Chains A and B, each alone.
Chain A
Amino acid sequence: MRATGSVGPAWGWPRLGPRARTAARPAAIAVAVAVAYYVGSRVGFALTVPLMSPSMLWPPNAILAATLLLTPPRQWALYLLAAFPAHLAAQLGTVWPTPLVPVLFVTNCSEALMAAILVRRFAGHGPAVFHSLRTVGIFIVGAGVLAPLVSSYVAAAVVTLLRGDPYWLVWRTRFFANSLTALTLLPALVMVVGRRWSWPGRENQRKALEAAVLWLGLGVVGWSVFEEPIEPSHLDVLLTVPLAFIVPFLVWAAVRLGPTGTSLSLLTVEVLAVWGGVAGRGPFAILPPVENVLSLQVVLIVLAVPLMCLAALIEERQRTRQALEERLRFEEVLSRLSRAFVHLPREDVDRTIDAWLRRLGEHLGVRHITIFQLCGAAKSFVPTHSWAVPPEPAPGLPLPATDDGGSHDLPLLITDSGVLSFGANADGVPWSAAQIAQVRLVAEVFGNALARKQAEDALRLSEAMNAAILSSLTSSVAVLDQRGRVVALNEGWSPLLAGDAAGAGGLGPGASCGDVCRLALGSDSPHVEAAVTGIQSVIDGIEPIFLFEWARDSASLERWFEMAVVPLNRAEGGAVVSLTDVTRRKQMEIEAQRMRQELAHFTRVSAMGELAASLAHELNQPLAGILANAQAAQRFLAAGRPDLDEIRAILADIVSDDRRAGEVIRRLREMLRKTAPSRVPLDLNALIGDVVKMLSSDALIRGLSVVLDFDPKLPPVTGDRVELQQVVLNLLVNAMDAMAGPAVPGRIVVVHTACSGPDSVQVSVQDAGTGVVAGGNIFEPFYTTKADGLGMGLPIARSIIEAHGGRIWVENNSTGGATFHFTLVATLPSVP
């Protein structure tokens, strides 16, 4: 196409083809048709035998038929109308009477139309008509025989009528002249004009050279056969014998140069033959001119038909072979393309795709190939890989037109989010179904490669994310497989590794969980065994979680660590061990506990202070008994006749009272003592009894009584004696305070103990006071309803119970007053 201007037809016929789309193009074609028609008519008139009206070679009809075979039918009327003025210009004032001129135009047009319609209907249009034996056969019958035959009946009749020429002579001359031009000039026109010319490559240059040699030889032989004047002295053989020398050249053309070369060769021979024949030269020169030309025409027609068929057959074979080779080549390319992406490392995929886009582009002869990917953020397709024909600096030749670029682009979806788009091929023809099927296979290979790369990218991204999360954790984290071997660990272990005096030699993938524990706890720690067992129990699915806390002395201060082991959430199993420095939390816990104890002690002291009168009463009772007994004994002894039995009884009573006083002191000291909490088994009933005794004087002074309702089979609980006594004391004092008002009848506090479950005991302190106000949280510090209360009694009770793993709550009784309950964990007797 690039070479349109330089290798076009000699008369400047504009190129016709699918690109003739603009409005200017049909107009240019119409003008060209008119000019060609006029020139063709003049040539036809020149090749006329004197005294014979029809021409011996009549190009205009072939020109019209070629136009109709190369253009869409909707434009035919335009071109036929354009030819009419040319027809008038060429024929008015010639041998033809004026009325005959338009009639002849009508017969010419009808012949061209008939030929075009028949060929188009049964054999297609354009140069492709001459590429197969079947369509060439149809062309020969339709355009070469039927159209001239039918139109010649009418034309001869009209000529005979208006000019008086002999009918059959006119018919014969016209039929053979038109048939011959239809068989030689028409195919040559269609193939030369309709062909997509390109600048000849190396192969085509050799073909062109061969064509030139052939044409030269044909010209020389044709000249000597058709144009040499007859010299009677040479009539030693028949004049027709040299005609045979034409045949090898025509067969050469048919075999080597295809339908186009054959048509042009035939046309050359025809022109030479007719020109010579009209002038009375040539192999049949001994005949009168009309018969001479007629004989030549018959010979040429007979030669043309098999030669055209032969050329079409060879062309057909060649095209089939070419298509097969093309396909084999493509399959070779496809298989190499597929192999190129097998086991290709991910990082090479992009480079390989680019390289193959280029090879494919060159192989397919397309202008560009681009792969677009849907960009998630922009919601649009962006090109990720592309190749395009590099622009060639070609001075003097127009670059490939780009105005229609994209009109034949072929986009194919290759992945969920990728599109492979082929540009128009170099010839600009639309993609055929076979080509689309081929490139679909190619696109599939690219799609698979890209999809695999995307999957690997996603995997890498996810692995990178996991590694980033792991390394961002402040704890030391190790991931173990189902055999307890380390598969991954983060940076958190570095300080431990650095401070590892034993020199464990580093902790890396493959280390055992024993290594992990030795590093975490210190290799001389007695707990390593227990930690390993704990980790193993999580890996084996026996325990859902393993938590372990320990203190580790460093040079400066005691540090606390916590090891948490949870199962690794994947099918193969395994576990995640995380090691956290919990020193800060532990210090806060210890501090909070210390504060709580301080507060508990303070409130105990203050409670004892409030109980001072009651305690004095409790002590004074035995002291009064002791003093009275002792003074009575003194008096009995002073009287001189002591009753020794009486003295013994007095002394026994004194001892008993003294013990009682000592017990009061002991209880008091116990409550005021400040010791670290301990955990020992306790009999709750006895413990509560002690507290009640301490408060008995208080109850007496207040004028109310405490009733005990104990479960004799109460299991022991584990706890701190003083703390639990404080809880009971606070609840009892609280109950007695609730009944301080004079209006409360039945001034009784009842203390129940009971088993509240298989492993818990419950203590309830029930008063008949005013009850608790709904909504207020009486267990919050400084919440008090009393004028002189600190508001710390119940919060302390709650913190102690919760530290013992129990629960404390209050509810109002239906009969008035409130009941405070608390539960504690029962200590089950250990199985010996």
Chain B
Amino acid sequence: MTAARLLVAVVDDEESVRTSLRRLFRAFELDAATFASGQEFLDALPSKPPDCLVLDLQMPGLSGLDVQRRLAAGGIRVPTIIITADDAPETRERCLSAGTAAYLCKPFDDCTLLATIARVVGAAADP
């Protein structure tokens, strides 16, 4: 058996975004789990912690930052990439200062996403 494939979790309220990212990760030969809201993701967390979290910032209910704060409060460290359709400089600052590993604006290129995942996962595995 080869090395275990990385598991990436995707949390986004947009179904179109979830579906297309799941396809992209399959093409990257990564495992992907998608969640329609932050709450859904947190509920599923104890059974299978992901290697990387792709988290939408603006969602009804819990926002991306809320989810991050819950994870931090629970002592769970998951390298997180915030994706957002609203590219405001102050939002980027807010996310990075909250401990986010990377910040991507929608729409983003597949290579950029792959490189960012590799960077944040590598950074997490090599402290």
Contact = CB atoms under 8 A, between A and B. Distances in A.
Given A620-B106, A628-B110, A613 B16 contact: no
B33 interface: no
Given A700-B58, A705-B60, A635 B24 contact: yes
A728 to B, nearest CB: 21
Contacts of A650: 20, 23
A628 B85 contact: no
B19 A631 contact: no
B20 A625 contact: yes
Contact of A621 (B16, B24, B28, B110): B16
A636 B110 CA distance: 13
A616 B26 contact: no
Contacts of B85: 616-621, 624, 697
B36 interface: no
A636 B14 CA distance: 23
B87 interface: yes
Given A639-B27, A653-B19, A624 B108 contact: yes
A631 B110 CA distance: 7
A82 B110 CA distance: 164
B42 to A, nearest CB: 18
Contact of B17 (A619, A628, A635, A701): A628
B93 interface: no
Contact of A624 (B17, B28, B59): B17
B108 to A, nearest CB: 7
Contacts of A631: 24, 27, 109-110
B116 interface: no
Nearest to A630: B20
Contacts of B106: 620-621, 623-624
Contacts of B7: none
Contacts of B127: none
A657 B107 CA distance: 12
Interface size classification for chain A = 20 to 34
Contact of A617 (B20, B26, B60, B86): B86
B20 A629 contact: yes
Contacts of A621: 14, 16-17, 85, 106
Contacts of A633: 23
A interface secondary structure, majority: helix
A620 B58 contact: no
A34 B24 CA distance: 167
Nearest to B111: A631
A628 B24 contact: yes
B26 to A, nearest CB: 7
A628 B58 contact: no
Given A620-B105, A620-B107, A624-B106, A656 B27 contact: no
Interface in B19-35: 19-21, 23-24, 26-28
Contact of A627 (B58, B88, B108): B108
B63 interface: yes
A617 B58 CA distance: 9
Interface in B57-112: 58-60, 63, 83-88, 105-110
A632 B20 contact: yes
A625 B20 CA distance: 6
A127 interface: no
A627 B109 contact: yes
A288 to B, nearest CB: 174
Nearest to A635: B27
Interface string B29-59: 0000000000000000000000000000011
B122 to A, nearest CB: 22
Given A616-B86, A621-B14, A621-B17, A632 B23 contact: yes
A620 B105 CA distance: 9
Nearest to A660: B16
Contacts of B107: 620, 623-628
A60 interface: no
A703 interface: yes
Contact of B27 (A622, A623, A632): A632
Contacts of B86: 613-614, 616-617, 620, 697, 701
A626 B108 CA distance: 10
A701 B90 CA distance: 13
A618 to B, nearest CB: 8
Given A620-B87, A653-B16, 19 more contacts: A613-B86, A616-B87, A617-B84, A620-B86, A623-B107, A625-B16, A627-B20, A628-B20, A628-B21, A628-B23, A628-B110, A632-B26, A632-B27, A635-B28, A646-B23, A657-B16, A697-B58, A701-B58, A703-B63
Interface of A: 613-614, 616-629, 631-633, 635-636, 639, 646, 650, 653, 656-657, 660, 697, 700-701, 703, 705
Interface of B: 14, 16-17, 19-21, 23-24, 26-28, 58-60, 63, 83-88, 105-110
27 contacts: A613-B88, A616-B85, A617-B85, A619-B85, A620-B106, A621-B14, A621-B17, A623-B107, A624-B14, A624-B17, A624-B85, A625-B14, A625-B20, A626-B107, A627-B108, A627-B110, A628-B17, A628-B23, A628-B24, A628-B110, A629-B16, A629-B19, A632-B20, A635-B28, A650-B23, A653-B19, A697-B58
